[in-house]
Structure 1
Amino acid sequence: MVEFGKRLKERQIQEWKGYYINYKLMKKKVKQYNNEIEAGAVERRHVLKDFSRMLDNEIETIVLFILEQQGLLASRIAELNEKQDSLQEHPDISKISELREAYRAVGQDILKLLFYVEMNAIGLRKILKKFDKRFGYKFTNYYVKTRANHPYSQLQQVFKHVGLGAVVGAISRNLADLQDRHGSYLSIYDQPALPLKDSVVESIQSAVDRLTHSTNFLSFLGQHALIMHEELPSPVEEHAHDQKYHLMSLILNLANTFLYMVNTYIIVPTADNYSMSLGAAPTVCGVVIGAMAVAQIFSSVYFSAWSNSSYFNPLVFSSIFLFLGNVMYASAFDLDSISVLLIGRLFCGLGSARAVNRRYISDCVPLRILMKASAGFVSASALGMACGPALAGVLQTEFKVYNITFNQDTLPGWVMAFAWLVYLVWLWFSFREPARETQDNLAPQESIAAAGYDNLEKGLAQPLLLTETENEVDDEGDQEDVSEEASEESRRPANSLRSAYNLLTPSVKVQLLIYFMLKYVMEILLAESSVVTAYYFGWSTSTVSIFLACLGLTVLPVNLVVGNYISNMFEDRQILLASQIMVLLGILCSFHLVGSYSVPQYVLSGLITFVSAEVLEGVNLSLLSRVMSSRLSRGTYNGGLLSTEAGTVARVIADATITLAGFLGQGKLLNVTLLPSLAICIASIVATCCTYNSLY
């Protein structure tokens, strides 16, 4: 595989070749600077000044060319508008189709321009990263801070390029006017809900939305799934996804996600009572709840690896283990054994197939519905999180059948065992194992010049600036500097957690720290709620269940507001920092310092913490996908697995913290468990500030 400089040259639009970033020259310049500094022939200050000037010139060339092309496109649209006006006066059905094709041709040229912007944006990011790596200091931080925030920023034009919106709007409006009406039409402004079925319009709008960081509820919610894609899709790949896709199999994966989250949180309101009934302290609920997360640390890895060869078998294995685990959890009461209780929860954790669910969506769902499927994955998780405690609140009864006790402690186990048994039968008869592709069957992607712009049209349905190009060699490897030919090894997915960790840049590590923090804080809030509220307010199991269910129900409305409005008003990094500060405020408000601890204080602080953490999760995973190496977009040890492991470890530590703090007494449990949350939150805010400008 060739290195990025050659890839850039190969994929250039030939008539525009003189206007691309001169990546090869700048790469040589970086190497020259390094040699001169080592020889003491030049000062670092001079290098910074000279390289900044060179970058400014390159960016100015790019921006002026973009503006020139915008002007040409605008002129062509103006000419077509005149023809359309004349058609309104003298309708000619035969010419309407011709006019529509002319507008679509302009749309294709807009896609070319967007691809040009994408390639240059990637080149700029790579050369900045290379400079930082060579010289060991944060030139990117300085350059982005001084250029991006300036009122006359040309860097903003490359990365956001809002000005293209007017051209896109003109194309969209005129094609919509001509579509299906042959001159007799309503304006899209009069009927904004009118569907625009033209593929060029949809591709352009999708591309510009990504380029300008515009988003909506579905895309924002889908980001929570962290389903990453490295490659720009080709028609072969899209066809392969269509062949593998099976609606019922997707529904079964989403059902598995939903049931697992219900299984996780259904015991939270009653775990303290169940522990006490077996002779343990109420704070042992931390171990009971956390046992599932402990097992999930290991199950995530082997399920991710297993999904390389099958989806059906790991889902069957998952269902059987979850059935057995819930039977053991429910039977522990009559056996009077805390050990059986914990083993049952461990079995449930060993059945965590979220890695399979995520992998199925990534590998088998067509790109046209991928965002909807990702949002469905997150919605299923959120609904399961809300339904679990709510269901526990309903199961407030007690009776015996053949010496088997059914009460508020055991019923969650029996109900979930029955649910997994039904699911297993449904899975056995309805799931369809998708066909597996081999490397020999994968057709090489054709170049843009040879294949026209069909690939580009489909590829722009994906985030333009979130990932690097498909065959691009990652800068973390040293191969690029050693030779012009990069080894195949430098492109392969990580083959272990250690190799995956070695691919993490400081920005990625900070994002994983933030994810760890938010999961830790949420687990502390949820897992200790039954103990804290019973001690301070005397809440019953039903009251705790209602409180937890209400928190879970805020997930979708909050993401709706953030996805449709807030994320379009502010940058992701701004929302990231602000939501961390709100989490910090929620933690500070939760402390019991003086006087009596009131219900309004607990509920309000819990709501602030939970909602802020939910907002934080969306933008955190969005930024994580943007800064993560493309080598972590596939394979067993992918970005989704890393984030899952970070969150699961956070939950395990949080549950252990609750149990250990219980030895100090229930009166000190709240403050003692909040102190680590406070420290981790402050650390994540400091780390975010240190890497803020690298999140561009």
Structure 2
Amino acid sequence: MVAFGKKLKETQIQEWQRYYINYKLLKKKVNQYARQIEVGDQDHYYILKDFSKMLDKQIEKIVLFLWEQQGQLARRLSNLGEQHADVSNISELQEAYREVGWDLLRLLFFVEMNAIGLRKILKKFDKRFGYRFTNYYVKTRANHPYSQLRQVLRHVGIEAVVGTISRNLADLQDHQGSCVSIYDRPTHPLPDPVIDSIKAAVDRLTNSTNFLEYLGKHALIVQEELPTPTKDHVLDERYHFMSLLLNLVSTFLYMVNTYIIVPTADDYSISLGAAATVCGVVIGAMAVAQVFSSIYFSAWSNKSYFRPLVFSSIVLLVGNTLYALAYDLDSIYVLLIGRLCCGLGSARAVNRRYISDCVPLKMRMQASAGFVSASALGMACGPALACVLQTQFKLFNITFNENTLPGWVMALAWLIYLLWLWISFREPSSYEDEDSVVSQDAKAELLENGELEDAQPLILSLEEKQYDEEEEEEEEEECDISEEAPEEAKKPVTSIVSAYKLLTPSVKVQLFVYFMLKYAMEIVLAESSVITTYYFVWSTTNVASFLACLGVTVLPINIFVGSYISNVFEERQILLASEILICLGIILSFHIIAPYSVPQYICSALITFVSAEVLEGVNLSLLSRVMPSRLSRGTYNGGLLSTEAGTLARVIADGTITLAGYWGMSRLLNVTLLPSLIICISSIVATCLSYNSLY
């Protein structure tokens, strides 16, 4: 990854160079402050004030230039509007509007580069001094009525220019006068590439989403802020649709495997002579093993994708077979070993890495959405399938019933998948130095073929720039809090400890929020069979139907939030509101007033589960933005950290259910909900403390 200061200089629109944020100056100032604090020359209060004034001047420079350019675009559009009456020059008007569109795109690119630079310098300051500065600066500037910060980070007012260009271009293309804006969905797409480019630029700046983009964020596959076409060109050669499909099927089957046993785990435990609450250990055994399997599968995927997927399928085949045979062997230990094997076969890290490493950038969001959709469908299909498997018979002295059939069905499914994988999967070609800077020969070839110009029309020049000694020294100062060498700072981290050291307070808070929501969801799902049997005498079919209905809500909720809610409210607002709703759902779940009713249980579970689903989307979206760039790739990446946090939450939640069983069934519900409530309140407090750093 190229240092941002260098990338900013290379991609600047040259005639506007003096209006960009002076990232180099600000970065040197941060380093100077660090040295002053070390020797005791300055206090934190002075540094906050002084750096704030510097940023204010930089932002004012950007905003004044932005207004000047908007005014020029507005005048040009006004002049073009007066020429609409002359129908003889439609083609000339179209071309003139396109020129304005490309100039607007240049301006949007200018704003985007400055917004990225501003966020990066705030993040750099926080690495050195904690998150006090971002909290202070955003709190005092963002909500002020004369705020110029909002002009850069939210670019208020520029949408009007966008709407005028898109509407007039559509009007000129459609002689019937249909006024189509960039946000409409016409039957026949507009042929002008400038419209699509403007829409993409506006969506990036406003963080606008549609359902597909919002759903894709759940996968925590970090998107590059300024992707290079060369890297995507390389990935095109590695992409294979059937291999991607096999990864998505693996994701789906694993989630089915996880939740298919939830409705019957308590009955299975009782049939083997254990207590009903041992279902927590049975369900959680898979998550315990996944804590370790995620790490070695992530490391394995550095060298191969095919071999870990084959290993995963074999282990899951064996694990499900052991799970099913435990009934006839009358052994709770065989049952637990089977579930541990299933957890050891968790290849979700491989599935995620394949999308991140082998799917072209232009398709990565769709593939990420497919990954999340496969998980959601598997979560719903698991209990639904358990609902269907309500039969009993014997074959070759092997018992097939509602307890063992989930194991046999999943063993058969993994056997079929293994054969399909062996026949159809194609190992991606090896690659070296994937994250290195593009060579000059490659750049020249792309420029000659016109690929680089088409992919990045706003970059006026990508010729090699010579840096003087001062600039070389400045690049050497590009380091994090641990003062790593420049080459070291570009490499992926090599251990969990190294990854943890890179985490800022904002990232730690978001990982804690993710832990909380997974803990709350697991309590609702894992103890549902025990609770509903004790209070309402529900059958396995009723429990399975209830869980399947909860799972079915995942996609509709994400459609609603991704298409509407996330475009109206800031993500940090949705984050805090969702946490409060989870807290409300947990409080409503407590058994305080007898009798405990079905409506109370269903409503509280629905509020908790749905709120957690909403929270997961915005939480992972924010996490992907605040996650350090070094954690976007390699074995110990951001996706692995979030997976570990979520898996650990499930392990602790399932263990809590089993331990709570020692206090008796009458106290089980309240005992398991109390830790959920404490963790949820703690996450709300942590979110409030880091709220401004999520701007």
Corresponding position of 1:691? 690
Question: Which consecutive residues of structure 1, in runs of 5 or more, have no partner in the other structure?
Answer: 460-470, 481-485
CA 1:32–1:291 in structure 2 vs 1: closer, same or farther (change >3 Å)?
closer
Q: Distance in 1 between matches of 2:407 and 2:38?
A: 67
Q: Distance in 1 between matches of 2:2 and 2:397?
A: 70
Corresponding position of 1:113? 107
2:332 paired residue among 333, 338, 353? 338
Corresponding position of 1:65? 65
Conservation of the 8 A alpha-carbon contact between 1:365 and 1:373: yes
Q: Distance in 1 between matches of 2:157 and 2:579?
A: 32
Corresponding position of 1:9? 9
Classify the secondary structure of the residue corresponding to 2:394.
Answer: strand
Conservation of the 8 A alpha-carbon contact between 2:478 and 2:486: no
Corresponding position of 2:610? 611
Corresponding position of 2:471? none
2:480 paired residue among 476, 493, 502? 476
1:658 aligns with 2:657: yes
Corresponding position of 2:469? none
Classify the secondary structure of the residue corresponding to 1:533.
Answer: helix
1:437 aligns with 2:436: no
Q: Distance in 1 between matches of 2:477 and 2:255?
A: 38
TM-score (structure 2 length as normaliser): 0.91
Q: Cα offset for 1:636?
A: 1.1
Q: String of CA shifts for 1:236-259, please: whole Å, max 9, x gaps.
A: 222222222222222211111111
Q: Distance in 2 between matches of 1:457 and 1:586?
A: 50
Q: Cα offset for 1:479?
A: 4.2
Give the alignment of 1:124-203 within 5 angstroms: 124-135=118-129, 138-179=132-173, 183=175, 186-188=178-180, 192-194=185-187, 195-203=189-197
Q: String of CA shifts for 1:280-333, please: whole Å, max 9, x gaps.
A: 111111111111111111111111112122222211111111111111110110
Q: Cα offset for 1:40?
A: 6.7
Q: String of CA shifts for 1:402-431, please: whole Å, max 9, x gaps.
A: 101000000001111111111112222222
Q: Distance in 2 between matches of 1:34 and 1:415?
A: 61
Give the alignment of 1:255-654 within 5 angstroms: 255-439=249-433, 443-444=438-439, 454-456=454-456, 476-479=480-483, 487-654=486-653
Give the aligned length: 672
Q: Distance in 2 between matches of 1:582 and 1:47?
A: 39
Q: Cα offset for 1:541?
A: 0.3
Corresponding position of 2:466? none
TM-score (structure 1 length as normaliser): 0.91
Q: Distance in 2 between matches of 1:19 and 1:582?
A: 44
Corresponding position of 2:472? none
Letter of the 2:279 counterpart: C
Q: Distance in 2 between matches of 1:405 and 1:322?
A: 20
Conservation of the 8 A alpha-carbon contact between 1:160 and 1:213: no
Q: Distance in 2 between matches of 1:134 and 1:40?
A: 15
Q: Distance in 2 between matches of 1:400 and 1:329?
A: 16
Letter of the 1:311 counterpart: Y
CA 1:415–1:558 in structure 2 vs 1: closer, same or farther (change >3 Å)?
same
Classify the secondary structure of the residue corresponding to 2:219.
Answer: coil
CA 1:432–1:197 in structure 2 vs 1: closer, same or farther (change >3 Å)?
farther
Q: String of CA shifts for 1:80-132, please: whole Å, max 9, x gaps.
A: 4445542x2x2x6xx72x55444333333223222222222233223333444
1:238 aligns with 2:237: no
Residue range with higher mean Cα deviation, 158-167 or 527-536: 158-167
Q: Distance in 2 between matches of 1:42 and 1:644?
A: 42
Residue range with higher mean Cα deviation, 679-688 or 432-441: 432-441
Q: Distance in 1 between matches of 2:458 and 2:418?
A: 37
Q: Cα offset for 1:67?
A: 1.1
Letter of the 2:497 counterpart: R
Corresponding position of 1:462? none
Classify the secondary structure of the residue corresponding to 1:379.
Answer: helix
Letter of the 1:682 counterpart: I
Conservation of the 8 A alpha-carbon contact between 1:473 and 1:491: no
Conservation of the 8 A alpha-carbon contact between 1:382 and 1:555: yes
Residue range with higher mean Cα deviation, 621-630 or 220-229: 220-229
Residue range with higher mean Cα deviation, 341-350 or 510-519: 341-350
In angstroms, what is the RMSD of aligned CA positions?
A: 2.7
Q: Cα offset for 1:370?
A: 1.9
CA 1:355–1:131 in structure 2 vs 1: closer, same or farther (change >3 Å)?
closer
Classify the secondary structure of the residue corresponding to 2:456.
Answer: helix
Conservation of the 8 A alpha-carbon contact between 1:63 and 1:157: yes
Q: Distance in 1 between matches of 2:458 and 2:217?
A: 20
Q: Distance in 2 between matches of 1:342 and 1:8?
A: 55
Letter of the 2:180 counterpart: I
Residue range with higher mean Cα deviation, 336-345 or 235-244: 235-244
Corresponding position of 2:462? none
Corresponding position of 1:48? 48
Q: Distance in 2 between matches of 1:673 and 1:31?
A: 48
Q: Distance in 2 between matches of 1:38 and 1:138?
A: 17
CA 1:28–1:503 in structure 2 vs 1: closer, same or farther (change >3 Å)?
closer
Identity of aligned residues (%): 70
Conservation of the 8 A alpha-carbon contact between 1:261 and 1:384: yes
Q: Cα offset for 1:449?
A: 11
Letter of the 1:187 counterpart: C
